[in-house]
Amino acid sequence: MRKIARILIGLIALAIMGGNADAQAEKRIQFAKGKSSAVVRDTTGGYGVIYVVRARSGQKLVLGLLPAARVGIRVEFDGSYGEMVLLREPKGGHYEIGLEESGDYRIYVGSLNNMPVRFSLTVRISKLADI
């Protein structure tokens, strides 16, 4: 009986750990030395891709997503007021977001039809006064 219990506990532990294998890993965007922008070329897969970029209060996040169709974009920040969605668009395009807090901003790029889509994402950080 104890052997069966240990086997069941082992199977449950494997199932829990295996469920995390499908979880998306965030990809950090880091700019080259002396640069304030980067271009990411990737594929959404069926579920989308999450990027993380660090920025400071008083800056703006400028995003360019191509293609304009078949992909959507969302920007989130977990700040002092809880999790905030700063941008949610069901299409690619050019977007500028003023940042009120310093920290990591999550950029989610996803397919609108659950089919992989190749895309290009330009990420630039500049002074908020430049708007």
For the stretch 60-117, pLDDT in tens is 999 999 999 999 999 999 988 889 999 999 999 999 999 999 999 999 999 999 899 9
Q: Give the pLDDT confidence score for residue 1 in this predicted structure.
A: 56
Summary mean pLDDT of the chain: 84
Domains of the chain with CATH codes:
25-130 (2.60.120.380)
- In 67-131, DSSP assigns E strands to 71-79, 82-89, 93-98, 103-111, 118-127
pTM of the model: 0.79
Sign for the CA dihedral angle at 65, 118, 41, 73 comes to positive
